[in-house]
Structure formats: C-alpha cells, structure tokens
Amino acid sequence: MQKYEYKVVPAPEKGVKTKGVKPGTPRFAQTLENLMNGLGAEGWEYIRADTLPCTERAGLTGSQTVYRNVLIFRRGLEGDTGETAETAADPILIEAMTDPEPDHTGETAEPDAAHDSPREDSIAAQ
C-alpha cells in the first residue's frame, strides 16, 4: 500500500501583480496557478481545496470563528515502493479442476460407488 505525506497551504486571498495579467479574476487565477505549479514541480499532487473553521482572538478576551480556505497536496513517501507482502509475492497458479473425459467403453446402468457424493450417502442413510 502506497504511503503519502500531506501538505496543507493557505489558499491565496488576493492576486499578486504580474506583468501582462489584468487585475481581478485573471490575476487571482495566475497567482493560484503559480502556487500549484510550484508545488507540482516539487512532486506534490493537488488533492482538493477545503474551507475549515479557525478560532482566533478578537480583542483582549474574546474569540471568533473565522473560516480559512486551504489547499491540500500529497506525495508518495521516498523509499516506499508501494508494495506490501501480498502484492510483492509471486502469483500462485491454480489449475482449474475438471472432470476427466468419460470412458464410454464399459458403461453400466448403475453409477459407480466411487463417484457417489457423500451427500447422497447421508440422505440414503436416513
């Protein structure tokens, strides 16, 4: 089983000035794209964005709940091949059980006692 490490980063709240990118939504999208591409280059895979509550101080004695947007990334742990004992083992070959070809040379009307099932014997004994 593959093991991962996770990274949670705050989502950008406003776009960073970039030459040639208009303000507003395009600037914000460019900022988000740069953040995601930077982490992707380090081997991090984007998983999802979440909004989570965070309790913060408000004034001297008060507190308030603020909701923060975060981006969640993951990457495989180094040195972990992702194989467990079950997946790393060689496969076991199992031959299909088939009945042998019937021999029609000495057929009798009575079934052979060696081929009777144990269930039929237990029913007959009752």
Do the domain assignments include residue 111?
no
Do the domain assignments include residue 99?
no
**Model-level pTM?**
0.58
Tell me what pLDDT residue 7 has.
96
Do the domain assignments include residue 44?
yes
Tell me what pLDDT residue 3 has.
93
User: Cβ distance 9 to 69 under 8 Å?
Assistant: no
Do the domain assignments include residue 16?
yes
Q: What angle do CA 41, 67, 57 make, to 5 degrees?
A: 115
pLDDT in tens, 47-94: 999 999 999 999 999 999 999 999 999 999 877 665 554 555 555 555
Q: Which domain holds residue 10?
A: 4-76
Whether pLDDT at 15 is above 80: yes
Do the domain assignments include residue 104?
no
Do the domain assignments include residue 108?
no
Tell me what pLDDT residue 24 has.
85
Tell me what pLDDT residue 120 has.
55
Whether pLDDT at 110 is above 80: no
Place 14 in a pLDDT band, splitting at 50, 70 and 90. confident
Residue predicted with more confidence, 2 or 117: 2
Q: Is 70 exposed, middle or buried (0-12, 13-18, 19+ CB in 10 A)?
A: middle
Do the domain assignments include residue 118?
no
Output helix, strand, coil percentages for the chain, rounded to the nearest 5.
25, 30, 45
Do the domain assignments include residue 11?
yes
Q: Count of domains in the chain?
A: 1
Question: Which positions ≥6 away from 78 have C-beta within 8 Å?
Answer: none
